[in-house]
Amino acid sequence: MTLTEALGYAAAILVLLTFSMRTMVHLRAVGIASNVFFIAYGYMSGAYPIMVLHCILLPLNSLRLYQILALLRQVETASKDGFDVNWLKSIATPRVVKAGDNLFRKGDIADRMAFIVSGQFQLADLGIEIGKGQLTGELGLVAPTKMRTQTIVCVSTGEVLEITYEQVKLLYFQSPKFGFYLLQLAGHRLFKDIERLEKEVAEYRAAKAEKAGSQP
Protein backbone atom coordinates (compact mmCIF):
# COMPACT_ATOMS: atom_id res chain seq x y z
CA MET A 1 0.00 0.00 0.00
CA THR A 2 1.36 3.40 -0.99
CA LEU A 3 1.44 6.43 1.30
CA THR A 4 -1.25 8.10 -0.82
CA GLU A 5 -3.59 5.11 -0.44
CA ALA A 6 -2.91 4.98 3.31
CA LEU A 7 -3.86 8.64 3.62
CA GLY A 8 -7.07 7.99 1.70
CA TYR A 9 -8.05 5.04 3.88
CA ALA A 10 -7.22 6.96 7.05
CA ALA A 11 -9.38 9.87 5.90
CA ALA A 12 -12.27 7.53 5.11
CA ILE A 13 -11.99 5.82 8.52
CA LEU A 14 -12.09 9.19 10.25
CA VAL A 15 -15.27 10.11 8.37
CA LEU A 16 -16.84 6.85 9.53
CA LEU A 17 -15.82 7.66 13.11
CA THR A 18 -17.73 10.94 13.00
CA PHE A 19 -20.97 8.93 12.86
CA SER A 20 -20.18 7.36 16.23
CA MET A 21 -19.43 10.62 18.05
CA ARG A 22 -21.85 11.55 20.85
CA THR A 23 -20.74 15.12 21.47
CA MET A 24 -20.12 18.03 19.12
CA VAL A 25 -16.62 18.58 20.48
CA HIS A 26 -15.46 15.11 19.48
CA LEU A 27 -17.40 15.28 16.21
CA ARG A 28 -15.68 18.51 15.18
CA ALA A 29 -12.25 17.30 16.32
CA VAL A 30 -12.48 14.10 14.27
CA GLY A 31 -13.93 16.10 11.38
CA ILE A 32 -10.88 18.39 11.43
CA ALA A 33 -8.55 15.38 11.41
CA SER A 34 -10.39 13.90 8.40
CA ASN A 35 -10.13 17.26 6.60
CA VAL A 36 -6.34 17.27 7.08
CA PHE A 37 -5.98 13.71 5.78
CA PHE A 38 -8.24 14.39 2.79
CA ILE A 39 -6.25 17.51 1.90
CA ALA A 40 -3.02 15.51 1.97
CA TYR A 41 -4.62 12.67 0.00
CA GLY A 42 -6.08 15.04 -2.59
CA TYR A 43 -2.76 16.80 -3.09
CA MET A 44 -0.71 13.62 -3.42
CA SER A 45 -3.20 11.82 -5.67
CA GLY A 46 -4.02 14.81 -7.83
CA ALA A 47 -7.67 14.75 -6.73
CA TYR A 48 -7.83 18.52 -6.52
CA PRO A 49 -11.64 18.87 -6.17
CA ILE A 50 -11.44 16.79 -2.97
CA MET A 51 -8.52 18.86 -1.74
CA VAL A 52 -10.35 22.16 -2.42
CA LEU A 53 -13.50 20.90 -0.70
CA HIS A 54 -11.65 19.98 2.47
CA CYS A 55 -9.60 23.17 2.39
CA ILE A 56 -12.97 24.94 2.71
CA LEU A 57 -14.35 22.54 5.35
CA LEU A 58 -11.24 22.69 7.55
CA PRO A 59 -11.62 26.35 8.67
CA LEU A 60 -15.40 25.90 9.04
CA ASN A 61 -14.96 22.91 11.35
CA SER A 62 -12.21 24.75 13.23
CA LEU A 63 -14.46 27.78 13.74
CA ARG A 64 -17.35 25.67 15.04
CA LEU A 65 -15.03 23.81 17.42
CA TYR A 66 -13.66 27.12 18.71
CA GLN A 67 -17.20 28.45 19.28
CA ILE A 68 -18.25 25.33 21.19
CA LEU A 69 -15.13 25.35 23.37
CA ALA A 70 -15.56 29.09 24.05
CA LEU A 71 -19.15 28.49 25.18
CA LEU A 72 -18.09 25.62 27.43
CA ARG A 73 -15.40 27.82 28.98
CA GLN A 74 -18.10 30.39 29.75
CA VAL A 75 -20.18 27.70 31.43
CA GLU A 76 -17.13 26.49 33.36
CA THR A 77 -16.28 30.01 34.54
CA ALA A 78 -19.86 30.79 35.48
CA SER A 79 -20.21 27.58 37.47
CA LYS A 80 -17.34 28.43 39.83
CA ASP A 81 -19.39 30.92 41.85
CA GLY A 82 -22.85 29.41 42.17
CA PHE A 83 -23.36 29.39 38.41
CA ASP A 84 -24.19 32.88 37.16
CA VAL A 85 -26.54 32.51 34.19
CA ASN A 86 -25.60 35.88 32.67
CA TRP A 87 -23.42 33.97 30.19
CA LEU A 88 -26.67 33.07 28.41
CA LYS A 89 -26.42 36.47 26.72
CA SER A 90 -23.96 34.97 24.26
CA ILE A 91 -26.45 32.45 22.85
CA ALA A 92 -29.91 33.70 23.88
CA THR A 93 -32.40 35.79 21.91
CA PRO A 94 -33.41 39.11 23.53
CA ARG A 95 -37.12 39.90 23.75
CA VAL A 96 -38.93 42.97 25.08
CA VAL A 97 -42.15 42.16 26.97
CA LYS A 98 -44.64 44.98 27.61
CA ALA A 99 -46.72 45.40 30.74
CA GLY A 100 -49.89 43.31 30.49
CA ASP A 101 -48.43 40.84 27.98
CA ASN A 102 -47.88 37.18 28.79
CA LEU A 103 -44.36 35.82 28.87
CA PHE A 104 -45.79 32.29 28.99
CA ARG A 105 -49.41 31.18 28.85
CA LYS A 106 -50.80 28.17 30.72
CA GLY A 107 -51.51 25.30 28.33
CA ASP A 108 -49.13 26.49 25.60
CA ILE A 109 -46.40 24.22 24.26
CA ALA A 110 -43.20 24.67 26.31
CA ASP A 111 -40.19 25.04 24.02
CA ARG A 112 -37.97 27.63 25.72
CA MET A 113 -36.97 29.20 29.01
CA ALA A 114 -36.26 32.84 29.82
CA PHE A 115 -33.75 34.81 31.90
CA ILE A 116 -35.18 38.06 33.29
CA VAL A 117 -32.88 40.99 32.46
CA SER A 118 -35.23 43.76 33.59
CA GLY A 119 -38.88 44.40 34.45
CA GLN A 120 -41.25 42.62 36.81
CA PHE A 121 -43.27 39.47 36.15
CA GLN A 122 -45.82 37.48 38.11
CA LEU A 123 -47.30 33.99 38.18
CA ALA A 124 -50.93 34.85 37.43
CA ASP A 125 -52.57 32.09 39.49
CA LEU A 126 -50.25 32.24 42.50
CA GLY A 127 -49.30 35.91 42.66
CA ILE A 128 -45.60 35.03 42.99
CA GLU A 129 -43.26 37.78 41.77
CA ILE A 130 -40.43 37.05 39.32
CA GLY A 131 -37.81 39.73 38.84
CA LYS A 132 -34.41 40.63 37.48
CA GLY A 133 -31.79 37.89 37.50
CA GLN A 134 -34.23 34.98 37.70
CA LEU A 135 -34.60 32.10 35.28
CA THR A 136 -38.07 30.81 34.48
CA GLY A 137 -39.68 28.25 32.20
CA GLU A 138 -37.11 25.54 32.87
CA LEU A 139 -39.62 23.06 34.31
CA GLY A 140 -41.28 22.73 30.91
CA LEU A 141 -38.13 20.95 29.75
CA VAL A 142 -38.83 18.01 32.06
CA ALA A 143 -42.64 18.18 32.15
CA PRO A 144 -44.20 14.95 30.77
CA THR A 145 -46.82 16.87 28.78
CA LYS A 146 -44.35 19.55 27.55
CA MET A 147 -47.06 22.11 28.33
CA ARG A 148 -46.93 25.32 30.35
CA THR A 149 -48.42 24.82 33.80
CA GLN A 150 -48.54 28.52 34.73
CA THR A 151 -49.28 31.83 33.04
CA ILE A 152 -46.57 34.44 33.61
CA VAL A 153 -47.74 38.03 33.17
CA CYS A 154 -45.50 41.06 32.69
CA VAL A 155 -46.29 43.59 35.44
CA SER A 156 -43.81 46.24 34.28
CA THR A 157 -42.18 46.38 30.83
CA GLY A 158 -38.90 44.52 30.74
CA GLU A 159 -36.44 42.49 28.69
CA VAL A 160 -35.81 38.76 28.79
CA LEU A 161 -33.25 36.48 27.17
CA GLU A 162 -34.87 33.39 25.66
CA ILE A 163 -33.03 30.12 25.08
CA THR A 164 -34.73 27.22 23.31
CA TYR A 165 -34.86 23.75 24.80
CA GLU A 166 -32.89 22.48 21.79
CA GLN A 167 -30.02 24.76 22.79
CA VAL A 168 -30.41 23.66 26.41
CA LYS A 169 -30.19 19.99 25.41
CA LEU A 170 -27.05 20.65 23.38
CA LEU A 171 -25.41 22.37 26.35
CA TYR A 172 -26.62 19.63 28.69
CA PHE A 173 -24.76 16.94 26.74
CA GLN A 174 -21.66 19.10 26.30
CA SER A 175 -21.30 20.28 29.91
CA PRO A 176 -22.04 18.06 32.93
CA LYS A 177 -21.89 21.12 35.19
CA PHE A 178 -24.57 22.86 33.16
CA GLY A 179 -26.74 19.75 33.38
CA PHE A 180 -26.20 19.54 37.13
CA TYR A 181 -27.11 23.22 37.48
CA LEU A 182 -30.40 22.64 35.64
CA LEU A 183 -31.20 19.70 37.91
CA GLN A 184 -30.48 21.87 40.96
CA LEU A 185 -32.66 24.67 39.63
CA ALA A 186 -35.57 22.37 38.78
CA GLY A 187 -35.27 20.63 42.17
CA HIS A 188 -35.21 23.98 43.99
CA ARG A 189 -38.40 25.08 42.23
CA LEU A 190 -40.16 21.80 42.95
CA PHE A 191 -39.24 21.89 46.65
CA LYS A 192 -40.46 25.47 46.89
CA ASP A 193 -43.76 24.42 45.32
CA ILE A 194 -44.07 21.57 47.81
CA GLU A 195 -43.27 23.92 50.70
CA ARG A 196 -45.90 26.38 49.51
CA LEU A 197 -48.52 23.65 49.16
CA GLU A 198 -47.75 22.29 52.63
CA LYS A 199 -48.14 25.79 54.06
CA GLU A 200 -51.47 26.26 52.29
CA VAL A 201 -52.72 22.88 53.53
CA ALA A 202 -51.65 23.72 57.09
CA GLU A 203 -53.43 27.10 56.92
CA TYR A 204 -56.55 25.46 55.52
CA ARG A 205 -56.60 22.83 58.28
CA ALA A 206 -56.02 25.47 60.96
CA ALA A 207 -58.86 27.60 59.60
CA LYS A 208 -61.12 24.56 59.42
CA ALA A 209 -60.26 23.54 62.98
CA GLU A 210 -60.86 27.10 64.23
CA LYS A 211 -64.20 27.23 62.49
CA ALA A 212 -65.22 23.86 63.94
CA GLY A 213 -64.12 24.97 67.42
CA SER A 214 -66.17 28.17 67.24
CA GLN A 215 -69.37 26.34 66.41
CA PRO A 216 -71.70 25.56 69.38
Question: Tell me, what DSSP letter sits at residue 127?
Answer: -
Domain identity same for 93 and 152: yes
Find how far residue 51's CA is from the centre of its chain.
Answer: 36
Q: In sequence order, what are the residues at sequence separation of 6 or more whose Cβ sits closer than 8 angstroms to the Cβ of residue 160?
A: 94, 95, 97, 103, 114, 115, 116, 117, 119
| Position 50 in a domain | yes
Domain identity same for 153 and 125: yes
Domain identity same for 74 and 123: no
Domain identity same for 32 and 55: yes
Among residues 173, 188, 209, which one ends one of the domains? 173
Does the model's pTM come out above 0.85?
no
| Position 127 in a domain | yes
| Position 182 in a domain | no
Domain identity same for 10 and 40: yes
Domain identity same for 92 and 109: yes
Q: Which pLDDT score, from 0 to 100, does residue 101 have?
A: 92
Given a cut of 50, the residues of the chain with pLDDT beneath it are 82
Strand 152-156: give its sheet, edge to edge: 102-104, 152-156, 120-123, 129-130
Q: Rounded to an integer, what distance in angstroms lies between the CA atom of residue 150 and that of residue 126?
A: 9
Q: How many domains does the chain have?
A: 2
Q: Which pLDDT score, from 0 to 100, does residue 52 have?
A: 93
Domain identity same for 57 and 34: yes
Domain identity same for 168 and 96: yes
Q: Which pLDDT score, from 0 to 100, does residue 205 have?
A: 78
CATH of the domain at 129: 2.60.120.10
| Position 178 in a domain | no
| Position 189 in a domain | no
Q: Which pLDDT score, from 0 to 100, does residue 92 have?
A: 80
Q: Which pLDDT score, from 0 to 100, does residue 89 have?
A: 67
Domain identity same for 25 and 104: no
Domain identity same for 91 and 149: yes
Q: Rounded to an integer, what distance in angstroms lies between the CA atom of residue 19 and that of residue 114?
A: 33
Domain around 115 = 85-173
* Residue among 190, 136, 125 at smallest CA distance from 158: 136
Report DSSP letters for 23-41, one per residue.
Answer: SHHHHHHHHHHHHHHHHHH
| Position 146 in a domain | yes
Q: Which pLDDT score, from 0 to 100, does residue 37 have?
A: 93
* Residue among 182, 183, 204, 201 at smallest CA distance from 193: 201
